[in-house]
Structure 1
């Protein structure tokens, strides 16, 4: 029995239907706990630090607690608690805005940059561990497509009026 257009369409539909549940499983943190567990608190810290780093590299953008809340899709009080934790741990500093002195902005410290470097090293190790049985070309292609997906998502999030 051959593979016809109808069967190909059915397989494609089934594969696309499985994407949502796969993202749900991924979100539960399986990827980051592959070999050595990461504390939930460190995962939250890395998200805050990552947003701070990304924002500080965009010209004219200052990262505030409100920006953290928006980018992480959490309420401002939760963002404030996460930011306070990062400040207590020495990963972030609150400083006065150069644009509006009434506003407080966030900046990474050297310890914050090191925490991100260590976390990213762990992420790579986890990815390599999870995909250790994959052919090299599949590992690289999946990495390329995942980055492309995340970049597309980020573009959509920065232009919400164009959905």
Structure 2
């Protein structure tokens, strides 16, 4: 199989200052889509993106000892509850999630990863690392590590954002 690599920005063509910050939005929009094109083993399947989102959100809730419901998932994904319900049903029918009674409120049904779901999440993370290594294969090692560090810092900063569906958003910074 032959891959064509197209260089979008070299150091000379990289936007500067405000133009650089403006370009971030466009970069995020194409990042996930193009990352999916990186050759990984096993190859990424057509439903893997949605399953990855669902399993990661359920896993993150478990890490902070929070229960995740279909409604909570819909809030996190900013989708209609019926969309989240279909995504969850797909994961349940393939054995990646189970529904269980809440230990905090027996009237609620919460989501838990199965062993198969944990294994699939591990596979997704391995594929993501393969994609990162492939995409940055021509970068100096120091740049790869610095980008990884800054990307994790950026991701960690999103934890300070208000929970989806809440109205306690801080004011936007003034536009210069």
- TM-score w.r.t. the length of structure 1 is 0.87
Q: Is the 8 A contact 2:69 2:109 kept in 1?
A: yes
RMSD over aligned Cα atoms: 1.6
Alpha-carbon distance between aligned partners in 2 of 1:50 and 1:160, rounded to the nearest angstrom? 24
Residue 139 of structure 2 is aligned to residue 134 of structure 1: yes
Once the two structures are superposed, what CA deviation does each residue of 1:10-65 show, in whole Å capped at 9, x if it has no partner?
A: 921121121111111114x1112211452231111111011001101213x21100
Match of 2:168 in 1: 161
Match of 1:34 in 2: 38
Match of 1:3 in 2: none
Q: Out of 127, 149, 153, which is 1:122 matched to?
A: 127
Alpha-carbon offset, residue 160 of structure 1: 5.4
Alpha-carbon distance between aligned partners in 2 of 1:134 and 1:106, rounded to the nearest angstrom? 40
The list of structure 1 runs, each at least 4 consecutive aligned residues, that deviate by more than 4 angstroms after superposition, is none
Alpha-carbon distance between aligned partners in 1 of 2:169 and 2:45, rounded to the nearest angstrom? 37
Where do 1:3-82 residues align within 5 Å?
11-27=16-32, 29-36=33-40, 37-59=43-65, 61-82=66-87
Where in structure 2 are there 5+ consecutive unaligned residues? 1-14, 171-176
Alpha-carbon distance between aligned partners in 1 of 2:37 and 2:16, rounded to the nearest angstrom? 31
Match of 1:7 in 2: none
- TM-score w.r.t. the length of structure 2 is 0.81
Residue 126 of structure 2 is aligned to residue 109 of structure 1: no
Match of 2:11 in 1: none
Alpha-carbon offset, residue 96 of structure 1: 0.5
Alpha-carbon distance between aligned partners in 2 of 1:137 and 1:145, rounded to the nearest angstrom? 12
